[in-house]
Structure 1
Amino acid sequence: MARHNIVFGRDQAVQGGANYNAPRFGQSAQAAPAQNTQWSSGFAPQGHAPTATGQPGAEQLEAMYARPSATGHDTGRMTFKDALNAITASLGVIVVVGFVVATSPYALSFVAGDAGAQAGLALTGLATLVGVIGGLVAALVNIFKKQPSPVAVLAYAVFEGLFLGGISGTMEFFYAGIALQAVVGTLAVAGTVLVLFRMGILRTSPKLTKIFMVAMIAYMLFSLVNIGAMLLAGQSLREGALGLAIGGLAVVMASYSLVMDFEDVQRASDSGMPRVYAWRLAFGISVTMVWLYVEVLRILMILRGSD
């Protein structure tokens, strides 16, 4: 379906989420009765004991009907709470790992002075490199893996925590307070999108999704050209007014991607998909939030650098 996030574009299970209301995963449907089947009410005539047909009596039936209905936990189906737990776990790992790495220059400078600060900057640089490579590998594993894996999603969260903590710690050393500003800006954008989505104001559409896909391809091509310019000429194209324009467009694209993520969570919860798919949804939102934070941080770097 066109409305699905690109992260889930290859996932037939998410695309066909509505079909998960059918009995599966250990829940077999009752077969249609054969012809000439003799039906029995299971109740004996008044004044007589129940027939010895193996059918439950009136008291047993009443007790069965009085039982609470099966929950998502009982059936193995995903609920909104399952998705929320997985999302909280993955984003929590990113935040914790990122905070530890980002504050390492200040922690080491407090212990060993300037030498500790330099060691902390070297650590953030190494964390950034490891996070970029490891995050890319973990992302590919999660995208192409047929069945969602909590371990793979949490591994991705660890690597992204290293990456975000590395770049945040480095930028914080040169632009004091920029990391906190980026966090506040990211939460403000994501919170606004969530509120507007809950109010029913923000929704995706096939036409907007096509525009999003074209813009995404153009953005990726520009990023490749920018990397080439940095390697060959040592000059970034994402500076000044052009950098701010590209950054603003990227924030809008990330916000739309977040709307698609929210719709996927809502759709998957309503369709009763297997509980493990909550981790696929958590992975998608983690990817979008990392992208949004990086773009907000880049915009702040341009603004702070022009002071």
Structure 2
Amino acid sequence: MALGGNPIFNGKNFRGATQAPPVPSYTHGQPQYGQPQYGQPQYGQPAWAAQPPMTSDQLQEMYNQPAAGPAETGRMTFDDVIVKTAACLAVLLLGAAVTLFVAPGTANLLMIVGALGGFALGMVNSFKKQPSPALILTYAGLEGLFLGGLTRLLDGMFPGVGLQAVIGTLAVFGVTLALFKSGKVRATPKAVRFFMIAMLGYLVFAVINMVLVWTGAVQSPFGLSSSVHIFGIPLGVFIGILAIGLAAFSLVMDFTSIEQGVRQGAPEKYSWTAAFGLTVTLVWLYVEIIRLLAILRGDD
């Protein structure tokens, strides 16, 4: 894949993804140089093995047949990606529904299991050379447990943030897709470099913040995000807006990778890789939005 694709795709799953073999073409009239005519045996081939000549009706029927498309030649299509992404999201929603309807204690336990299991399978799927539909769907289910438990926890503290986060995630996804299709937003090399620098800074902050919360150095459940204020605004608001912007640009990288995969004729199985990449980004986007909403509500 070219520069600008999602790191989940680059240098790993699409490596060696070549186009399906071309469909043979048939020409009317004289045969090409070095090709035998219909009904004539090749050199050294017995006459009884020669193919009978095709009738004019057979030739016309062959000529009228439509050219084979990506689906007929086993290549990835946008429809494949849509269907498999929908399957991942359906499994994710099923996992979320489980944590929403069980006892609170069980929901918290499932949330932890989903977070740890989802992270582990996310790493496995990211570094796995060939996509595994079973592992990708299992990842989606575990992330559903995590998101369902997180939503239940935060929605109990700040009623309504769950629905607002869902609406916000859909809105960001829709706007990003529309801007990408219009050509106004592209994953250019310069933009990708900025993304990588900003992402590194965000990860450093996230690790430091997590350590401070775990060690009890900061008592706030969101750590520095809600305990530090800049001009009266929680630090988490600025960090959250940055993170949502990074997640939105990651969607652009996903769309770029999918578009290039379809254009280059990647095998159909890599539509699972595309679905996995989109699922990872949407999970990240939802977490950042619901966390930002919770910080804003908690500061009221």
Q: TM-score scaled to structure 1, two decimals?
A: 0.83
Query: Given residue 4 of structure 1, which amino acid in structure 2 is its aligned partner?
Result: G
* Aligned-residue offset at 1:41: 3.7
Task: For residue 74 of structure 1, report the CA deviation from its aligned partner.
Answer: 2.4
Taking structure 2 as the reference length, what is the TM-score of the superposition?
0.84
| Per-residue deviation, residues 218-260 of structure 1 (Å, max 9, x unmatched) | 1111111111101113421121521111111000000000001
Q: CA deviation at 1:76?
A: 1.3
Amino acid at match of 2:185: L
Correspondence for 1:237: 224
Q: CA RMSD in A?
A: 2.4
Q: For each residue in 1:7-38, what CA deviation from the matched residue of structure 2 results, as whole angstroms up to 9, or x when unmatched?
A: 22331625x66xx33629xx899xxxxxxx75
Q: 8 Å contact 1:125–1:166 — kept in the other structure? A: yes
| Runs of 4 or more consecutive aligned structure 1 residues displaced over 4 Å after TM superposition | none
Gaps of 5+ in 2: 26-32, 41-46
What pairs with 1:207-286 in structure 2 (closer than 5 Å)?
Answer: 207-235=190-218, 236-239=223-226, 240=229, 241-286=234-279
Q: Which residue type is aligned with residue 302 of structure 1?
A: I
Alignment partner of 1:151 out of 98, 121, 134 = 134
> Which residue of 1 is the match for residue 28 of structure 2?
none
- Give the partner amino acid of 2:75: R
Give the match's secondary structure for 1:10. helix
Determine whether 1:142 maps to 2:125: yes
| 1:160 paired residue number | 143
Matching of residues 159-198 of structure 1 within 5 Å: 159-198=142-181
CA contact under 8 A between 1:193 and 1:258: conserved in structure 2? yes
Distance in 2 between residues matched to 1:175 and 1:65, nearest whole Å? 66
- Structure 1: how far apart are the matches of 2:207 and 2:56? 72
C-alpha contact (below 8 Å) 1:265/1:281 kept by paired residues: yes
- 1:99 is displaced (CA, Å) by 3.2
> Of residues 79, 82, 87 in structure 2, which corresponds to 1:81?
79
The percentage of counterpart residues that share the same residue type is 39
**C-alpha distance in 1, partners of 2:21/2:224?**
54
For the 8 Å contact 1:43–1:58, the answer to whether it is kept is no
How far apart, in 1, do the equivalents of 2:13 and 2:172 lie? 30
Q: Which amino acid aligns with 1:217?
A: L
The correspondence for 2:113, drawn from 120, 127, 130, is 130
**2-side partners of 1:172 and 1:243: how far apart?**
18
- Which amino acid is 1:76 matched to? G
Identify the residue that residue 7 of structure 1 maps to in structure 2. 8
Contiguous gaps of at least 5 residues in structure 1? 30-36, 45-50, 106-119
SS of 1:96's partner is helix
Distance 1:144 1:218 in 2: 23
**Alpha carbons of 1:287 and 1:131: their partners in 2 closer, same or farther (altered >3 Å)?**
same
How many residues get paired?
274
